[in-house]
Amino acid sequence: MDVRRTTPTPRTTPDLPLHRLQVPLPQLLPFAIGSFDAIGPLSRAGFPHRHSFYEIVHVTGGHGAHVLDLVHRPLAPPQLCVITPGQVHYWADAEELVGRVVLFNEDFLLGHPQDLAALRALATRPALALGDQADAVAALLADMEYEYRTRGPGYQGVLRASLHILIVRALRACAPADRPAVPGRPAEVAAAFTRLIARPGGVRHSVASTAQELGVSPGHLQTLVKQATGRTPGGLIRRQQTLEAKRLLACTDLTIRQVAKEAGFVDPAYFCRFFRRETGMTPGEFRSRVDGNHHDPRIMSIAVAPDGP
């Protein structure tokens, strides 16, 4: 069953194709799990697109690569790929993909805000090697699919608990230095802040407007986000603006002026200076380097390099 639909848009429009989670009946959860075949052909989409939902892909077989926000990573099963709303991804030259796909909306995890923060951290990697967690993750996903298909008494709670365990096991597969900090109030506020600026149009927000939307003062937001991430809210907005500009330069035919507007800049000339300061290249140079070549080491290193605070 295809549980997603796509809203295609021309390459000259601001938005990339957007995939949405579609549930066939109102009483069903905003959640789905199944094989690539069961979820449908869009689960293997070979063109750049965004999601309005979260996706966890457990790849156990196949060839090709996963490209997430311009970072190209050859498949090396078994592995997990985590994609969060707003990220741009696709499967490059993928053949014989085998595994399970988990799809869910944010409200499916409202009771576990720390999991949303963890998913954001995991999504900074195009692929996560599972190591000694591989067998446990495979067994857990098989049980989740069984619960989803049979819908026994209390299956909603089982699925939510199992998803939480899946996220914990994914974190265990990370190197200790890469694991997110223990969640708490700062982590929850920082996660909510990053979700706001990562959603479509979110890069146009200022620190003051996001603080107002989150119900905290700008100063308190500054303290909490800095404590949780080591970066200032302004620094995270700049990083998101740079990433959004890269996505649009690489995956659309928008003019530099249009990219500047979509990335939150009124003045295209200032945008060009900003982009060069952040990446070491002009927007035009970046587009010419990345066009048709996601293997360029300079592009990949820029895509994953952290910004300063």
Query: Which DSSP string do the residues of 40-52 spell out, in sequence order?
Result: -GGGG--S-BEES
Q: Tens place of pLDDT for every residue, the chain, 309 residues?
A: 344 444 444 333 445 666 666 655 444 568 999 999 998 888 899 988 888 889 999 999 999 999 888 888 899 999 999 998 888 889 999 999 999 999 998 878 766 767 877 888 888 877 899 989 999 999 999 999 999 999 999 998 999 999 999 999 998 888 654 554 444 567 778 878 887 887 767 777 788 888 887 778 888 888 988 887 788 989 989 988 998 898 888 888 889 999 999 888 999 999 999 999 998 899 999 888 876 554 443 443 333 333 333
224-230 long-range CB contacts below 8 Å, 24 or more apart? 224/185, 224/186, 224/189, 224/190, 225/186, 225/189, 225/190, 225/193, 226/309, 227/186, 228/181, 228/186, 228/187, 228/189, 228/190, 228/191, 229/190, 230/309
CATH number of 4-178: 2.60.120.280
Q: Which CATH class is domain 185-304?
A: mainly alpha
4-178 matches 185-304 in fold: no
SS3 179: coil
Look at residue 65 in the predicted model and tell me its pLDDT. Answer: 92
Per domain, the residue ranges of the chain are 4-178, 185-304
Q: pLDDT at position 16, please?
A: 64
pTM for this prediction:
0.68
Residues 20-75 pLDDT 10s: 666 554 445 689 999 999 988 888 999 888 888 899 999 999 999 998 888 888 99
